[in-house]
Amino acid sequence: MVLAGDVVRLDTQAHKGHYRIDSLKEDGLRLAEATRVDPEVYLPQRLYEEGASLQPFVGPTPVEMLFLDLPLLTGDEVPHEPHVAATARPWPGAVALYSSPQDYDFVLQDVLNKRSIVGQLTTPLLRGPTGVWDRQEGVNVKLVSGSLASVDTASLFSGANTIAVGDGTADNWEINQFAQAEVSGVREYEISQMLRGQAGTTAMIEDVWPAGSFVVVLDERPKQITIPSASRGLDRHYRYDPAKSVVGSASFKHVVYAFKGNGYRPYPVTHLRATEVANGLTFTWIRATRIDGDLWSAGDVPLGEDSELYQVTVYQSRLVKRQTVSSTASWTYPASQQASDLVFGGFEVAVAQVSGRYGAGSAMSIDIASQA
């Protein structure tokens, strides 16, 4: 029996094809109303377009951003411009950074699309030697995201596995490199076999970098931000948050920094020595350069400054007893000056290279108490 909704096939001279019975009426004769249909519509269809893929909504997440006023690492950086490293978990996709000379009239400084590898020490990092491998027991680093890996010596000397260790302020970062990295937990690594105080940061080495100190991997993801050269040393206001946040919302974080432009900071001198002479003490040292210092060619390394100048300071019990300048890598402290400065019983001499753009850099000191 044919019912409404059934599909029947007619094969008459006037009508050929498939019809869907829409209604039936009994009026002496069985009358049917039908609609012609194509069986193709009832077959499974192949979709040639991808359907919509719905993703769960992830709201803006808190962002952490570190500002690093670093020395020149490759030599191609702009010396007075700081680096910024942003991270969040999960990563919001982009972070907007706004800046202004005052706490209003902010303009878009930059949009950071790449998350930096940032972490914190979970074990203390003790002071280590410079110029040779630091082979002390490894230190543990907990990352927000990313991973670390061991590298061979050739890669290390080419700049691989360079990190900045600091307290989170813009100016206080020690540049290190590590050759070995072993997994010690979830996003946690033990790094060892380090080169300490790289890029002239020997003066930044602390007796102990405590657990909680920040670690930033310098793999070109922390990027420099543009600031006017005339703004060096002046306070500048920054606000940052995920780029999808509304500008001026309460979630934006606000910081104020004055960057010294540590790309101009001269390196500390090396091999500071004191020699007794007939009329007093002579101090000698070897200068270091922040530009092209690894070009092992004949002659001395480039000066890297407008002129060669050193600041020599004599301390006793942390009091400045004498300060002078020298245009050569030596200085004599006559016995007569020692007597007039009343430094008998021991004193300390600190030598710092001077830059016309920066001033005196980090100093190397020598305690000559045993020679007094």
pLDDT digits (tens, 9 = 90+) for 217-244: 999 999 999 999 999 999 999 999 999 8
pLDDT at 159: 93
297 pLDDT band, cuts 50/70/90, is low
370 pLDDT band, cuts 50/70/90, is very low
pLDDT tens digits for 114-152? 999 999 999 999 999 998 999 999 999 999 999 999 999
pLDDT tens digits for 251-274? 899 999 999 999 999 999 999 999
Closest CA to 263 of 132, 69, 111: 69
Q: Does residue 195 carry a pLDDT above 80?
A: yes
Q: What is the 3-state secondary structure (H, E, C) of the chain?
A: CCCCCCEEEEECCCCEEEEEEEEEEEECEEEEEEEEECHHHHCCCCCCCCCCCCCCCCCCCCCEEEEECCCCCCCCCCCCCCEEEEECCCCCCCEEEEEECCCCCCEEEEEECCCCCEEEECCCEECCCECCCECCCCEEEEECCCCCCCCCHHHHHCCCCEEEEECCCCCCEEEEEEEEEEEEECCEEEEEEEEEEECCCHHHCCCEECCCCEEEECCCCCEECCCCHHHCCCCEEEEEEECCCCCCCCCCEEEEECCCCHHHCCCCCEEEEEEEECCEEEEEEECCCCCCCCCCCCCCCCCCCCCCCEEEEEEECCEEEEEEEECCCEEEEEHHHHHHHCCCCCCEEEEEEEECCCEEEEEEEEECHHHC
pLDDT at 372: 40
H helices of the chain, in order, are 153-157, 335-341
pLDDT at 59: 63
24 pLDDT band, cuts 50/70/90, is confident
> What integer best gives the mean pLDDT of the chain?
90
pLDDT tens digits for 150-186? 999 999 999 999 999 999 999 999 999 999 999 999 9
pLDDT tens digits for 70-119? 999 998 999 999 999 999 999 999 999 999 999 999 999 999 999 999 99
pLDDT at 78: 95
CA atoms within 13 A on the CB side of 288: 22
